[in-house]
Structure 1
Amino acid sequence: MSERTTSSSWASTIAQALELGGVDCRSLFARLGMDYSALDDPEARFPQDSMTRLWQLAVEASGNPAIGLNMARLSVRPTSFHVVGYALMSSRNLQEGFSRLVRYQRIIAEGSDVSFHPTVDGYELVFAIHGDRLPATRQSAEASLAHTLAFCRWLTGKPMRPRLVSFQGPPPENQEPYREAFQAPLRFNAEHYGIVFERADLDAPLPSANEGLAQLHDRFAGDYLARFSDSRVTHQVRQVLCRLLPQGEPKREAVAQALLLSERTLQRRLQEEGSSYQQLLDDTRRELAGQYLAQANLTLLEVAYLLGFADPSNFFRAFRRWFDTTPGEYRARL
């Protein structure tokens, strides 16, 4: 089955943030069977689940559950975001830049889906962080928030203060590192990870804007996406499943229609990528189950329905098969 992956440029930035926290990433990479030297290869990519384990081991090694916020302390480099960083830089303003980030996010890391929309009093950038077979860590999401904001401050040359920063999951015991990193009101147990920006901050012209370069970077990014992931139906099916599951168990026919494919073509292309529709449905539900149970405000019944189970008892049976425990015991451990 095709694995989600993370670009070497983003993985390298994560490694720098962990090393800033005293973690020996070289030994952790070796322990996880990853090639540390590949961090310098711009074409290299790392399995998403290996990156998830890296975060888990780094928290254990450092004893610092807020280590993801170290991403705000690094010297900002556009290369952290692969070619997408340069596309952002050359945009007219951050509003246009974020539209590019949404379009090209998969180049940086396939484990993130980014959306961007206006709100009553500003603009919100929303991050949905997924794992592959393992549920994504909180630190991975917090790192994305912290580094994106640091990048925006660097791009604009201004100490931007968001209107709000939202986090899934309960508030940490020590919120001081969060206040220091974001300099903004914080909301925990939120529906999603996101940053609400002031409208004026996103509409202001960027000092590095260059329309000719922006078009050039669009072409580079488009070519990379076409080469790397447009052919990977596995990833696209997962995205459609995440969207459709809250409405009930999606039929293969509905997913094929959403991707403008026939059922037979969908089946064949998944087979070529070493997967199947049923396997992807099961994997996506398992991954989301881990994420939803980390949100204390969701009842077990709500989690079952969000995963598309009409009968909660089917959810409980599936959960025991996935995690060898009950949803209640799993949540208690969290």
Structure 2
Amino acid sequence: MSERTTSASWASGIVKALELEGLDCRAMFKQLGLDFAALDDPDARFTQDSMTRLWQLAVELSGNQAIGLNMARVVRPASFHVVGYALMSSRTLAEGFERLVRYQRIIAESSDLSFRLEPDGYALVLTVHGDHLPPTRHSAEASLACALSLCSWLSGRVIQPRRVLIQGPQPRDLTPYKTAFHAPLVFSAPYDALVFERADMEALLPTANEAMAVLHDRFAGEYLARFSESRVTHRARQVLCRVLPQGEPKRETIAQALHLSQRTLQRRLQEEGTSFQTLLDDTRRELAEQYLAQASMTLLEAAYLLGFADPSNFFRAFRRWFDITPGEYRARLSGAAAAPVENESVSDARTQAYTAPAP
């Protein structure tokens, strides 16, 4: 079973959108083997593939190829779980979208969001991933329509994007898209995105409340932490951080610490979109950034704490991660010119003779 999941809050929004077509969602859930009652549990999750099958069945039953756009008519902050209330209390829409990017996984793990300032305005870029089933265009289009509708709901006025980018091919009937977006449409685009006027994103929201924003950030952060802790990736990373100073960690050691067989660990990591070697490499890279930010820690100490028995392997890995040497990286952090190559070469020379202490 796929591990990518969607919150019951977002699934409820999908159900409301489908019911606008007159579809019997309770019967559809039964047909797909899904628990309709779980929609009332804010902590319940549905797999991404089950939501893909729901969209496919909805199109089959309704004949409406643009059914995802119905989400614009039912969106409320509650559709975004606890994240919705954090958005409501944000100072501006730009600040709200930055929160949305930060907490996106609470709503749906299958989507990646980025929000960036471009020369012609702010772009909210969406990528929807599938699991065993490829994602439908309806899922992405529902998210775009929902995000735009939320802008108008929060600001209390109509927000019109500069343009809308849609990965799917241009449909025969453009009417639903024109009604939903009121903006120039670009189909067969490289990604799904909304591009907004800068002034619209930076205007103060009537619902802005700094104290409430801090509170909702805490709630969202705590939920995300609880959610992450249930993931094998998160638990394996914690074990890696603990055992790295003892030397190169073995998959068998991590599996035993998690009370899993090596095969089960490998399968669970794969379901969560990674592998043991990738997780080890990512963990080392993140820790390396933290260690090099500590001026009192030598490069040899950092290599040892990262589990490299031969620090020359650490230097090679660091070059692969950041395309510069650890010494150059540290010089940039301190604001100094990356000129002290002599110090770097001394460290390089030392690594040839240095061997990490035995655990």
Residue 278 to residue 186, structure 1, CA distance change in 2 (3 Å): closer
Residue 31 to residue 215, structure 1, CA distance change in 2 (3 Å): same
| Pairing 1:275–2:268 present | yes
Q: Secondary structure at the match of 2:109?
A: coil
Q: What are the residue-to-residue correspondences of 1:152-167 with 2, within 5 Å?
A: 152-167=151-166
Q: Secondary structure at the match of 2:55?
A: helix
State the partner residue of 1:141.
Answer: 140
Once residues 187 and 138 of structure 2 are traced to their aligned partners in structure 1, the CA distance between those partners, rounded to angstroms, is 14
* 1:225-245 residue CA offsets vs partner (Å, 9 max, x unmatched): 1111255255999xxxxxxxx
State the partner residue of 2:41.
Answer: 41
Residue 43 to residue 163, structure 1, CA distance change in 2 (3 Å): same
Q: What are the residue-to-residue correspondences of 1:1-334 with 2, within 5 Å?
A: 3-74=3-74, 76-230=75-229, 232=231, 264=251, 268=255, 271-272=264-265, 274-277=267-270, 280=273
- Whether contact under 8 Å (2:126, 2:193) holds in the other structure is yes
Q: Secondary structure at the match of 2:123?
A: strand
AA at the equivalent of 1:142: E
Once residues 219 and 166 of structure 1 are traced to their aligned partners in structure 2, the CA distance between those partners, rounded to angstroms, is 33
AA at the equivalent of 2:268: S
Once residues 146 and 218 of structure 1 are traced to their aligned partners in structure 2, the CA distance between those partners, rounded to angstroms, is 25
AA at the equivalent of 1:222: G
Once residues 173 and 104 of structure 1 are traced to their aligned partners in structure 2, the CA distance between those partners, rounded to angstroms, is 36
Q: Secondary structure at the match of 1:229?
A: helix
Q: Which has the larger radius of gyration?
A: 2
Once residues 138 and 151 of structure 1 are traced to their aligned partners in structure 2, the CA distance between those partners, rounded to angstroms, is 20
* 1:1-56 residue CA offsets vs partner (Å, 9 max, x unmatched): 65111101100000000010121111110011111111111111111111100000
Once residues 135 and 162 of structure 1 are traced to their aligned partners in structure 2, the CA distance between those partners, rounded to angstroms, is 28
Once residues 221 and 281 of structure 1 are traced to their aligned partners in structure 2, the CA distance between those partners, rounded to angstroms, is 25
AA at the equivalent of 1:97: G
Q: Secondary structure at the match of 2:148?
A: helix
Deviation at 1:72, TM superposition (A): 1.3
* 1:175-211 residue CA offsets vs partner (Å, 9 max, x unmatched): 1100000000100011100000100000000101111
Once residues 16 and 167 of structure 1 are traced to their aligned partners in structure 2, the CA distance between those partners, rounded to angstroms, is 23
Q: Secondary structure at the match of 2:268?
A: coil
Deviation at 1:275, TM superposition (A): 2.4
Structure 1 residue runs of 5 or longer lacking an equivalent are: 238-256, 283-334
- Whether contact under 8 Å (1:124, 1:197) holds in the other structure is yes
AA at the equivalent of 2:60: E
Question: Given the two structures, how large is their TM-score scaled by the length of structure 1?
Answer: 0.72
Where relative contact order (Cα < 8 A, 6+ residues apart) is larger, the structure is: 1
Once residues 223 and 253 of structure 2 are traced to their aligned partners in structure 1, the CA distance between those partners, rounded to angstroms, is 23
Once residues 116 and 181 of structure 1 are traced to their aligned partners in structure 2, the CA distance between those partners, rounded to angstroms, is 21
Q: Secondary structure at the match of 1:133?
A: coil
Residue 234 to residue 73, structure 1, CA distance change in 2 (3 Å): same
State the partner residue of 1:309.
Answer: none
Q: Secondary structure at the match of 2:138?
A: helix
AA at the equivalent of 2:48: Q
- Whether contact under 8 Å (2:232, 2:269) holds in the other structure is no
The number of residues matched between the two structures is: 259
Structure 2 residue runs of 5 or longer lacking an equivalent are: 237-243, 276-359
AA at the equivalent of 1:193: D
- Whether contact under 8 Å (1:232, 1:273) holds in the other structure is no
Q: Secondary structure at the match of 1:97?
A: helix
Residue 2 to residue 173, structure 1, CA distance change in 2 (3 Å): closer
State the partner residue of 1:297.
Answer: none
- Whether contact under 8 Å (1:69, 1:146) holds in the other structure is yes
Q: Secondary structure at the match of 2:116?
A: strand
Question: Given the two structures, how large is their TM-score scaled by the length of structure 2?
Answer: 0.67
Once residues 156 and 88 of structure 2 are traced to their aligned partners in structure 1, the CA distance between those partners, rounded to angstroms, is 12
Sequence identity, in percent?
63
Once residues 69 and 176 of structure 2 are traced to their aligned partners in structure 1, the CA distance between those partners, rounded to angstroms, is 7
- Whether contact under 8 Å (2:3, 2:271) holds in the other structure is no
Q: CA RMSD in A?
A: 2.6
- Whether contact under 8 Å (1:165, 1:187) holds in the other structure is yes
- Whether contact under 8 Å (1:234, 1:273) holds in the other structure is no
Deviation at 1:133, TM superposition (A): 1.2
Q: Secondary structure at the match of 1:104?
A: helix
Deviation at 1:280, TM superposition (A): 4.7
Bigger mean CA deviation after superposition, 221-230 or 210-219: 221-230
